[in-house]
Structures are given as C-alpha cells and as structure tokens.
Amino acid sequence: MRGRTPRRAPRHTTGRVSRRWKAIAATALGAALVVSGCGGTDDGGDDASQVEVFSWWTGPGEADGLAAMKAEFEKKNPGTKFINAAIAGGSGTQAQAVLASRLQNRKPPDSFQGHAGAELLDYIKAGQIERLDSFFDQNGLRPAYPQQLLQQISYKGHLYSVPVNIHRSNMLWYNPKILDDAGIAGPPKTIAEFITALKAVKARTGKVPLSLGAQWTADHLLENVLLGSLGTDAYNALWKPGADWSSPAVRKALTDFAEIMKYTTAEAASTDWQGASKAVVDGKAAFNIMGDWAYGYFTGSAPNGLGKKVDTDFKYAAAPGTDGTYMWLSDSFTLPKGAPHRAGAIAWLKVAGSREGQDLFNPKKGSIPARTDGNKALYTGYLQYALGEWTKPGIKLAGSFWHGVNAGKKQHTDIDTAVGLFLQNKDVAKLQAALVEAAKNSGQ
C-alpha cells in the first residue's frame, strides 16, 4: 500500500476533522459487534531482545520507508534485534493468508500490519490483538491523531492499532506525451470522458490505454469506478447496513467498469502493481489508476525507485469522477495477543506512532503521516498536493473497500471472487448479483 503527506503546518481543528470524517465514520467500525476485552498495555518486563514485525512492504518505496523506520528503531533500541518478516505481494493478499495461519496456530509475530477500519474487526472479534488504550495514554498519542481516525481504529471505545500513514486510493497516473499524441487535452474528469480517452489512445497511438497488474488491481479499479460513477454519498451508502447493490445506478457503474476493462492489459500476477504503474512512466501505457504509493515508486532513487520526474515522465489527477473526494486508507500496526517479545513490540509501536518515525517513513513510501504534526517541509511534489487535499475544507471522504476501511474480510474476499469470475465471463449481471450476495453475507 502507499502515498500520503503529514500535517505539521496544516493542522486539523477538532471540528474540522470531525466534519471531514463524518461521511464515513460509521461505515468502517460502526456495526454492533461483541468482543471480549484483551487487556491493557504497559511496557512490562518481558523479552525485548528482539521484535518480529510482519508486513507486506517489500516493493519499491514501501521497502525503503520500512528500512528508514527500522533504522530509527535500532537507533532508539540498540539492544533489540529487528526481524523484518515482510511477505511480498501487493495489497497484502499473500501476507494476510500467511498471517491468518500463524494466528490460528497461535504463533503470532510481535506486531503485524493491518489496515485501519473494518479489516481489524476480524482480529478484534477473534481476540487476537490487544487493546492499546494505555499505550496511547502513556505515550501521549491521542492528541496527535485526528479524532475520527481514532474512531476508525476503535471498537466500543477501545483502541486496537497504531496508524502510520494516510494513503489516497483514487489517483490517476498518466503519461503526458501519450495523451498529447492521442489528441487528449488533459486528464479526463468524468467516467464518460475517461472511456472516450481510452478509445482515443487505442485508436491513435497503439499504446496500452489502461495498465493493470495482478487481479487485486482490478478490484482497486472497481472501487474507483464505483466512486466516480455513483458519487461520494451513494458510494459510502453501499457500505452501510441494508445497502442496495441491486440498484440501476450500481448496474450503470458496473457497466462502465466492464467498458473500461476492454481497454486494459490482461491480468498479470507476475507484474503486480509495480509493473502496471511502471508501464506509464516507461511510455507503454497512457493511464494507470493506483493508490499514491505509486508516487514513491516513481520518484524514489535506484535500486528500488525509478528516479522519474513529475510533470515530465508522468502527471497525476484524481481518478475520473472523483475530484473533491479523498478515498482514503491507513496502514497501522497492532499488538498481537501472546506476542513472544511483547516489550520489543511495544518499542516498535512507539517508533511507528512517533512523529520522527512517520516523517522518516512516509516521504519514501509516498504517503502522508497519520499524525497531524508532521514536518510539512519534508513533503514536496505530489505529497504537498496530497497534504493540501487532505486538509482542504470541504473535502469529501470515502473509505477504500479494497484496502480495508469499510469492508470486512469476508465481503472483501467475496468481492474479489466476484471480480475474478467477471474477468473470465465478462457478465455484468452476474457480477452485480454476486456483489448483492457479498453485501448480504457480510454481517452488516
């Protein structure tokens, strides 16, 4: 996952943050669930000889960000060995499967990455992660985070993870030369304009109109088309109890999705998101819809980054139909129940939640910090834009269903299955029926 900017100068007032998050505050963790308490956290006297940190940050940008935070951890904890247990695979698909097996076998890592929002509910309900209320209090973290973000990582008033960043999911990356060759004046602002642009690229340039990678990048595209076609309020309503996925408006959005898919590359697990994004800056594809972690990859230094220049090698805009809306997600870290090196885990969470740690991590990852007091000077180029959008008065928020904000694991899996079948049969009616069933069976 990937790209945002902190906020040292652009401070949120409590009222402004609350207004901005209100649109989706109820969608991620608002369902009534029952979970047993997992106890508080103190620094304890248990083993701090090492810490095993589990994530899916192995790709360009994200791996560099993790390495920077690891170095900060080792500086502050010279007697503790840091074990990087990252599992490759964009969006965490493979990593989460490995993690589920470890948790079921009661062999948890000391801390693991989880998207803030509905994704955490399965861990909470299963009693697999500890409450972090006292950790936040002991380290003075509550005032450092937007209040509504704290609500997103809470259940029944208790905190369960430490957010590291904010990413924007609804970003369009494009090659300006290919658009010029195709006679396209600028990035398309609506879904209809996007489809017209894709047709123009195919007819006039011979380039790939829209690049995709592994199947999850099609899921990611779907959430952007739903948002762009339905609008923010109707998109957010899809994740509330009793949501109507059978409506004509959803059918229209899925029909748009099917049309857009005609202009994409074939699903290619071997390339993942990096290959799909790289096609744009290499001049092979006109467009790629991907989260802003792509920015860290594009601009990062070799060997992990591509060393490309914004406005020359690539440009960016909000995904078609979504300007004025920030489709957000947040990476966070947890304290598993039964962590073998609990004191080491708490030391890691301190770094993950610190201003220093987040300011080291996010500029490399291509994201903005979850804290409100980041050093604004560190966030330039796209990240300056992202920070400005995140703090803009009146910006609308939508949670990324694919990246864990407002869809629990079951619905997430069911949607992925539905998209996989659609990639084979191209049947919009069957796709919609499957999404209707996914919502009914989600437990909302």
- What digits encode the pLDDT tens for the residues 90-110? 667 789 899 999 999 999 999
Regarding whether 154 and 26 lie in a shared domain, the answer is yes
Query: Residue 358 sits in which domain range?
Result: 14-167+332-394
Statement to judge: residues 372 and 263 lie in one domain: no
Q: Where are the alpha helices (DSSP H) in 35-154?
A: 62-76, 93-104, 121-125, 133-138, 147-152
DSSP class of residue 140 equals: T
- Domain end, chosen from 327, 356, 373, is at 327
Same domain, 48 and 115: yes
Tell me whether residue 279 is in a domain.
yes
Do residues 291 and 285 make contact, with C-beta atoms less than 8 angstroms apart? no
- Asked whether residue 415 is assigned to any structural domain, the reply reads no
Q: Are residues 283 and 247 in the same domain?
A: yes
Q: Give me the pLDDT at residue 91, please.
A: 66
350's enclosing H/E stretch is: helix 342-353
Residues 235 and 379 in one domain: no
pLDDT for res 444: 54
Per residue in 139-183, pLDDT tens?
Answer: 999 999 988 788 877 889 999 999 999 999 999 999 999 999 999
Alpha carbon of 212 to those of 261, 270, 368: distances in Å? 9, 11, 25
Residue 369 lies in a domain: yes
pLDDT above 90: percentage of residues in the chain: 75
Same domain, 338 and 355: yes
**pLDDT (0 to 100) of residue 12:** 36
List, in sequence order, every residue forming a beta bridge with 288; answer none if it has no partner.
Answer: 173
The pLDDT of residue 265: 83
pLDDT at site 38:
39
Domain boundary among 312, 327, 342: 327
In the 3-class helix/strand/coil scheme, how is 362-412 assigned residue by residue? Answer: HHHHCCEECCCCCCHHHCCCHHHHHHHHHCCCCCEEEECCCCCCCCCHHHH
* Whole-angstrom distance, CA of residue 24 vs CA of residue 221: 20
Please state whether beta strands 396-399 and 331-333 pair in parallel, antiparallel, or not at all (unpaired).
unpaired
Return the bridge partners of 369, or none. Answer: 165
Whether residue 379 is contained in a domain is answered as yes
Residue 428: CB atoms within 10 A of its CB come to 18
pLDDT score recorded for residue 267: 63
Q: Are residues 114 and 178 in the same domain?
A: no
Last residue of a domain, one of 283, 311, 327: 327
Examine residue 399 and state whether it is found in any structural domain, yes or no: no
- Tell me if 440 is assigned to some domain: no
242 with 362, same domain: the answer is no
Measured CA to CA, the distance from residue 258 to residue 247 in angstroms comes to: 17
Rounded Cα–Cα distance for residues 239 and 236 (Å): 6
Do residues 110 and 136 share a domain? yes
The CATH number covering residue 291 comes to 3.40.190.10
Residues (pLDDT < 70) of the chain are 1-45, 90-91, 267-270, 443-444
Co-location of 267 and 365 in the same domain: no
Asked, for residue 428, whether it belongs to a domain, the answer is no
User: What's the distance, CA 182 to chain centroid?
Assistant: 31
- The count of structural domains within the chain is 2
In a domain, 270, yes or no: yes
Q: Do 184 and 155 share a structural domain? A: no
> Does 148 share its domain with 267?
no
